[in-house]
């Protein structure tokens, strides 16, 4: 993992094992830090694509950075972190909340003439469905219960009060931004949208993934893996291979 000249130091770059073209940007889930996507980013890099993992405010080295009030503001913050046109064409991969952030990032990038080839959506409801979905919890107790229900967080870490305090700070910021989000169904990106999910995800059904189709002017596909909401933990290599194949 390295930093990239001209990019904010909190953009985590995993250079490709062999020279290639373009880059893939990784947008974490709510409360997720860049470090949680090291395995996936390494798998991308091993297949010839530089990977750049986004670090959101209120975690890790951005702990003191103010939280973005909206998803759109967060996407703009990440777009402003570097000259993305210099590494285009881009592919974007976002998991859960990260998929919606990536969608807004794609809109901004395309508006600035940056070539975004594909948006890989993982375990996320479509932007146009967010406003009508149940609001995410905002109290500490409810947020923690929701995170436990989703899985993906080591139970031993949840027993660490200091860790939980930092986790709640990050998750609460992301949930509040997500609760303010709304997007009409006629908003589209030029990039292809490829959706990924899991048969056993009790939060995001295959039908919910299909609703992303209205948001692209390009090609749309859907692929499902075994597992739950955080299926990528056990399928990083398979996901990277699918994305390499395009």
Q: pTM value?
A: 0.94
Distances (CA, A) of 4 to 1, 157, 218: 10, 31, 30
Q: Where are the domains of the chain?
A: 12-245
Residue 207: its H or E element: helix 206-210
Q: Looking at residue 181, what is its pLDDT?
A: 98
Quote the CA–CA distance of 23 and 186 in Å, as a whole number: 28
Q: Looking at residue 129, what is its pLDDT?
A: 98
Q: Looking at residue 4, what is its pLDDT?
A: 64
3-state secondary structure (DSSP) of residue 1: coil
Q: How many CB atoms lie within 10 A of CB 80?
A: 10
pLDDT in tens, the chain (246 residues): 555 657 999 999 999 977 667 899 999 999 999 999 999 999 999 999 999 999 999 999 999 999 999 999 999 999 999 999 999 999 999 999 999 999 999 999 999 999 999 999 999 999 999 999 999 998 888 888 887 787 766 667 677 788 888 889 999 999 999 999 999 999 999 999 999 999 999 999 999 999 999 999 999 999 999 999 999 999 999 999 999 988
Token digits for 207?
Answer: 């039908």
Q: Which fold, 12-245?
A: Rossmann fold (3.40.50)
Token digits for 173?
Answer: 């910021």
């Amino acid at each position: 993992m390295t930093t990239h000249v001209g990019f904010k130091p909190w953009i985590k770059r995993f250079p490709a094992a062999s020279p290639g073209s373009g880059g893939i940007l990784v947008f974490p889930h709510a409360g997720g830090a860049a470090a949680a996507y090291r395995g996936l980013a390494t798998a991308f890099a091993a297949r010839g694509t530089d990977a750049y993992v986004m670090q959101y405010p209120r975690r890790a080295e951005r702990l003191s950075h103010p939280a973005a009030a909206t998803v759109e503001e967060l996407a703009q913050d990440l777009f402003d972190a570097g000259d993305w046109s210099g590494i285009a064409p881009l592919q974007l991969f976002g998991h859960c909340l990260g998929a919606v952030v990536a969608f807004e990032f794609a809109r901004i990038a395309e508006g600035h003439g940056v070539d975004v080839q594909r948006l890989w959506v993982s375990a996320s409801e479509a932007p146009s469905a967010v406003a009508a979905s149940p609001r995410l919890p905002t109290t500490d107790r409810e947020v923690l219960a929701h995170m436990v229900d989703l899985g993906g967080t080591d139970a031993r870490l949840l027993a660490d009060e200091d860790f939980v305090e930092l986790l709640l700070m990050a998750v609460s910021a992301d949930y509040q931004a997500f609760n303010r989000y709304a997007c009409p169904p006629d908003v589209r990106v030029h990039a292809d949208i490829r959706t990924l999910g899991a048969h056993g995800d009790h939060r995001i059904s295959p039908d919910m993934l299909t609703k992303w189709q209205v948001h692209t002017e390009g090609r749309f596909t859907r692929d499902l893996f075994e597992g739950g909401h955080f299926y990528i933990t056990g399928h990083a290599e398979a996901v990277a291979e699918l994305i390499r194949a395009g």
